[in-house]
Chain A
Amino acid sequence: MPFIPDSEEQVTRYSRHILLPEVGGKGQQKIGQAKVLIVGAGGLGSPAAFYLAAAGVGTIGLIDSDAVDLSNLQRQIIHQTPDIGRPKAASAKAKILALNPSVGVETYNTRLTAENALDLIGRYDIVVDGVDTFPAKFLINDACFFAHKPLVHGGILRFDGRVFTILPGQSACFRCIFKQPPPPGAVASCQEAGVIGALAGVIGTIQATEVLKLILGKGRLLTNRLLDYDARETRFREIKVAKNPRCPLCGERPEITRLVEHEPEVCAVRTA
């Protein structure tokens, strides 16, 4: 059900948004019409999905091919103990609908691939990166560039997190900074190196905030700057980046002209 400004239930539900000059009734309506795709219903996808659902985002898409595992529950807060073994997309959908039944939820119990990425991403306005492997992060970056969709990138490892918003073609993309994924096995994953659970909440929630700013067209986005969070020191740092003319994707002489999938990390341990 779309947001109806005169529906009393909706006005009450979103009253703390509507009170904000940056949102108001019109902004809330925009939120209600927005379609957001969350790739990965895990550590980052959990808080992002919860807050976007609470905010009344009209349609939320969830892509995840995994099932809930006991070891996920330390940080993937949209899943609960009785969900173990259940597909993550379905588990997340149930929680979203319990929180806000007016959200339309589309689930895709699959991996994002070079074959399906443009089709899936093309159905949405904004994409949230909540995936855990470099090949997937590069695929999302590239697909959002080809599909001209804003992307809110997130990453977490150990006590460190990062958020970065990309307006394809206009602001620096992931490949402007990192041209290629690291050599397989060179960089540890959360499964190998661990991650402090609450860090996922910090980063995923900042991602959700960036999505809402994108929808509303308000505030200053995290474009052309990386926000790095060091939870050990409780320190946020901003690193300026710029669109790179030598970027293999969005630079002056692009080498990547179609979607490619990088080799999956050989060391990655899949727990599903």
Chain B
Amino acid sequence: MRVTINGKTEEVSGSSVLEVLRAKDVSPQMVAVELNSKMLERDELGSTVVKDGDAIELLFYMGGGA
């Protein structure tokens, strides 16, 4: 299945958003996740199905300023 992750098209395995995160070695605690421009709650990641052509945004914390 091909999905767009942070603007880049990738081949991913897994049927849920959580499985895609695991395949990419991203801890759900470390990101905010949008699917097709809709923000997902952390407890929805496992039950949200990813389909071919979906767009996922992984928003990582970016804390620096000094």
Contacts and interface: CB of A to CB of B under 8 A. Distances in A.
Contacts of B66: 40, 42-45, 66, 72, 76, 130-132, 190
Contacts of A187: 30, 60-61, 63
Interface size class of A (residues with CB under 8 A): 35 or more
A44 B65 CA distance: 5
B6 A237 contact: yes
Contacts of B39: 176-177, 241-242, 244
A72 B6 CA distance: 31
Interface in B18-66: 27, 29-30, 32, 34, 37-39, 41, 57, 59-66
Interface string A121-151: 0000000011111100100000000000000
A137 B62 CA distance: 10
A226 interface: yes
Interface size class of B (residues with CB under 8 A): 20 to 34
B63 A226 contact: no
A21 interface: no
A129 B7 contact: no
Contact of B65 (A155, A176, A237): A155
Contact of A186 (B6, B29, B62): B29
A228 B26 CA distance: 19
B22 to A, nearest CB: 17
Contact of A156 (B38, B59, B64): B64
B65 A42 contact: yes
Contact of A239 (B29, B59, B64, B65): B59
Contacts of B59: 177-178, 226, 239
Contacts of B7: 237
A270 B16 CA distance: 40
A132 B66 CA distance: 5
Nearest to B64: A190
Interface in A170-207: 176-178, 181-183, 186-187, 189-190, 195
A210 interface: no
A240 interface: yes
Interface of B: 6-7, 27, 29-30, 32, 34, 37-39, 41, 57, 59-66
Given A155-B64, A242-B37, 15 more contacts: A40-B66, A42-B66, A131-B65, A133-B63, A155-B62, A155-B63, A156-B65, A157-B62, A178-B61, A183-B29, A187-B30, A195-B64, A239-B34, A239-B57, A242-B39
